[in-house]
Amino acid sequence: MALPLHQRTIALAESRQLEELAEMLEKEGAGTLRCPLVSILDAPDPAPVLSWLGDLIAGRFDYVLLFTGEGLRRLLGFAERAGIRPDVIKKPERSRAAPSRCGPCGRSAWVLPWLPKCPLPMG
């Protein structure tokens, strides 16, 4: 019995989880053509990022909204290179944090233990 996508070629214009998506399609018989359209790079000048992280550590924000897990990983990379990661991970005295959707909070709660748990089921 032929697989549902046998003799089909699917172009994947995706940057996040490209390999996982390709594997799922290939298991159904498809050939895949990977063409990621986005490159995620660190900010070329670390100074503004480090300044922002300093404000976070000092508790100068009322709220911290985290939109992507990738953004959080990049911020923590800057913090690690600057030797301030433990200070970033500690809960700021004054700031409240809220992830914008379940992906970052589900994946990142272990990194920033002060992030609220996602109220929606994952999956």
- Rounded to 10 deg, the angle between the 46-57 and 69-82 helix axes is 90
Q: Do residues 93 and 61 touch, judged by C-beta distance below 8 A? A: no
Q: Does the structure show a pLDDT above 50 at 30?
A: yes
| Per-residue pLDDT, 116 | 55
Confidence of residue 17 (pLDDT cuts 50, 70, 90): confident
Structure token pair of residue 42? 């660190």
Residue type, 69: G
| Residue (of 105, 119, 30) closest to 65 by Cα position | 105
User: Can you tell me the mean pLDDT for 21-39?
Assistant: 89
**pLDDT tens digit string along 44-69?**
999 999 999 999 888 888 877 777 77
| Per-residue pLDDT, 83 | 97
pTM: 0.60
